[in-house]
Amino acid sequence: MARSGAAVEEPVRRRLLAEATRLFAERGFESTSVQEIVAAAGVTKGAMYHYFGSKDDLLHEIYGRVLRMQMERLTRFADAEGPVTERLHATAMDVVVTTIDNLDDSKIFFRSMHQLAPETYKTVRAERRRYHERFRDLVVEGQQAGVFRDDIPAEMVVDYFFGSVHHLGTWYSPDGPLTGQDVGRHFADLLLSSLEPAGRPAR
């Protein structure tokens, strides 16, 4: 009974992470107290500080989980077979769909990133940077192949697109008429469309 009881009950650590994610997304990192988190998870502070070194550490783990997942998916889509236009379209769409599926994570990401301790902050930024670079390589590949316009720096196209993605959390609602697939398709279409060469007469 003891074993099965422990197995049936969700591990405390997991509940803490889940509730913290929910609360951070809802009220922000600084406005959420450790008390609130442990109360929501049905434990006490002793339990939390048993599993996590600090409140900061809790946030850091959330970031790590998100970053690992996104990087894994991006790599899979970017390294697939097919023409670069199709790969970029599929990648962009997946980024949007995944972001919408984990909207709480997204809200935390762009709202609370600067609350991390300087050391942790740099680590997260660096990993985020590698992610953007992998995405940028796709754009560069298309530019060199001549299928994307190259009069706009690929770096800026990436910042342009991910700005839109990061801000999904501020306006998208699962209760609305649009599914994640809808938004993903439209966003990917807009991205691909804006990259078409010779769109406007060169000045």
Partner DNA sequence: ACAAGCGTACCGACTGGTCGGTCCAATCCG
Partner DNA sequence: CGGATTGGACCGACCAGTCGGTACGCTTGT
Residues that bind its own copies (CB under 8 A): 27-31, 110-111, 114-115, 149, 152-153, 156-157, 159-168, 170-171, 178, 183, 186-187, 189-196, 199-200
Whether the CB-CB separation of 196 and 143 falls below 8 Å is answered with no
Instruction: Tell me whether residue 21 or residue 32 sits nearer to DNA (CB atom).
Output: 32
Instruction: Tell me whether residue 44 or residue 75 sits nearer to DNA (CB atom).
Output: 44
Report, in Å, the least distance between residue 19 CB and its own copies: 18
Cα distances (Å, whole numbers) of residue 105 to 15, 65, 110, 138, 170: 15, 9, 9, 25, 12
Euclidean distance between CA atoms 61 and 76, whole angstroms = 23
Report, in Å, the least distance between residue 53 CB and its own copies: 20
Report, in Å, the least distance between residue 45 CB and DNA: 4
Euclidean distance between CA atoms 153 and 156, whole angstroms = 5
Euclidean distance between CA atoms 102 and 68, whole angstroms = 13
Report, in Å, the least distance between residue 9 CB and its own copies: 33
Q: Tell me the two tokens of residue 182.
A: 């809808």
Q: How many residues are recorded in the chain?
A: 203
Assess 107 for contact with DNA (CB under 7 A).
no
Q: Which of residues 40-59 bind DNA (CB under 7 A)?
A: 42-47, 49-51, 54-56
